[in-house]
Amino acid sequence: MHSIPLTLHRCLRPRPDRVARGVDLFEIVNGSSRGDGLFAAVTGAFSFTGRAIAEELLRRGESVRTLSRADAPDDPLRGRVDVAPLDFEPTTLRSSLSGVDTLYNTYWVRFERRGVTFAGAVANTIELFEAARDVGVRRIVHISVANADRADDLPYFAGKHQVEQWLAASGVEHAIIRPTLVFGSHDILINNLAWMLRRTPLFLLPGTGDYLVQPVSVRDVARIAVETRAGVVDAAGPETMSFAALVSAIGDAVRGRARIVAGPRSVGLTINSILGRLIGDVIVTADELEGLSRSLLVTKSEPRGTERFIDWLHEHEAGLGRSYTSELRRNYRADVEATTGLG
């Protein structure tokens, strides 16, 4: 059985949005290790894709440790996983990864903002992988993005490409999983599209809306990540549709009141930027719209995902988009606290 060194307890602060009222003590839970005494480590088990991977591993009887920036005492997974800091300080990383057999890495940043950069995300990821190699982690499963090598002019994709190239040259045993557009519980993008379609009178489709997406369920991504032994593998769902069709399906499912109209991308960005300022979030970036418009979230390979977006949508239509999920609050909290005083 491996336990986290006591010093690490102090590195993990409970995050205010993940702490029960009146409960502010962080207490580490040592998950029971599997037969060989080793853990599967997953970044972000209290967030989106990392959560699904952790759940998939637990279902298969693995002992799971999450590397997260903050503890989540109220999270249903909290009692089932070991917790260690996702802190890119080299010594801390090595402690977090000790006793780990396979590292599932979901860490990335969605956009650059006040000190958070894609160059930094690349450097942090390499730091994470080097620490894993140094402490004897046997294998790395890295979550990348569809077409990571096809858009070096977009920093999100360029950074993903750089990390893939580093791994390929590293000599570390690894698999690379390239998801398209991921949907499922705890997602941000689909939920917030539904929120806008419910709450706003007009939804402006950037450009023509005829570019393609191929949504994949987060459970399929997790299964593919856990089952893939090696190589570069796309994680894409069974349906390909235009972005306009995706938005329209969400609008119908949630009985949204928004009229959906196509319009210039620049107008869409301006509207989203004003709305974003009102609600204190970054809703979408110019690069994300550019990536969408090039149909980068689609693959040519045979889809490995089996769960249909449309089925999932209908199962979740009652709750989808009822509340807005803020990317800034979830992932750029230090920035939000520093600039707004919100805690």
Ligand X SMILES: NC(=O)c1ccc[n+]([C@@H]2O[C@H](COP(=O)([O-])OP(=O)(O)OC[C@H]3O[C@@H](n4cnc5c(N)ncnc54)[C@H](OP(=O)(O)O)[C@@H]3O)[C@@H](O)[C@H]2O)c1
**Smallest distance, Å, CB 236 to ligand X?**
10
**Closer to ligand X by Cβ: residue 263 or 293:** 293
Taking CB under 6 A as the criterion, the residue among 70, 97, 197, 283 binding ligand X is 70
Taking CB under 6 A as the criterion, the residue among 179, 207, 251, 291 binding ligand X is 179
Binding mask 201-220 for ligand X (x = CB under 6 A): --------------------
Taking CB under 6 A as the criterion, the residue among 39, 48, 104, 157 binding ligand X is 48
**Residues 301-340 within binding reach of ligand X (CB under 6 A):** 331-332
Cα–Cα distances in angstroms (integers) from residue 50 to residues 223, 241, 336, in the given order: 12, 26, 23
d(CA 42, CA 50): 6
- Binding flag, residue 92, ligand X (CB under 6 A): no
d(CA 272, CA 157): 22
- The upper half-sphere exposure of residue 253, i.e. CA atoms within 13 Å in the direction of its Cβ, equals 25
DSSP 8-class letter at 113: B
**Closer to ligand X by Cβ: residue 218 or 254:** 218
**Closer to ligand X by Cβ: residue 12 or 264:** 12
Contact 54/82 with Cβ under 8 angstroms? no
DSSP for 46-67, please give it: TSSHHHHHHHHHHHTT--EEEE
Region from 57-65, 103-111, 266-274, 316-324 binding ligand X, contact rule CB under 6 A? 103-111
Taking CB under 6 A as the criterion, the residue among 33, 47, 63, 102 binding ligand X is 47
**Smallest distance, Å, CB 27 to ligand X?**
18
- Binding flag, residue 69, ligand X (CB under 6 A): yes
Cα–Cα distances in angstroms (integers) from residue 295 to residues 46, 205, 206, 278, in the given order: 30, 15, 13, 30
Contact 66/83 with Cβ under 8 angstroms? yes
Binding mask 3-42 for ligand X (x = CB under 6 A): ----------------------------------------
**Residues 106-145 within binding reach of ligand X (CB under 6 A):** 106-109, 116, 143, 145
Region from 2-10, 48-56, 161-169, 308-316 binding ligand X, contact rule CB under 6 A? 48-56
Q: What are the percentages of helix, strand and coil residues in the chain, rounded to 5?
A: 40, 20, 40
Rounded to the nearest 5°, which phi and psi values hold at 312? -60, -45
- Binding flag, residue 292, ligand X (CB under 6 A): no
Three-state DSSP string of 134-195 = HCCCCEEEEECCCCCCCCCCCHHHHHHHHHHHHHHHHCCEEEEEEECCEECCCCCHHHHHHH
Contact residues: ligand X, CB under 6 A: 43-44, 46-50, 68-70, 86, 106-109, 116, 143, 145, 179, 181-182, 189, 331-332
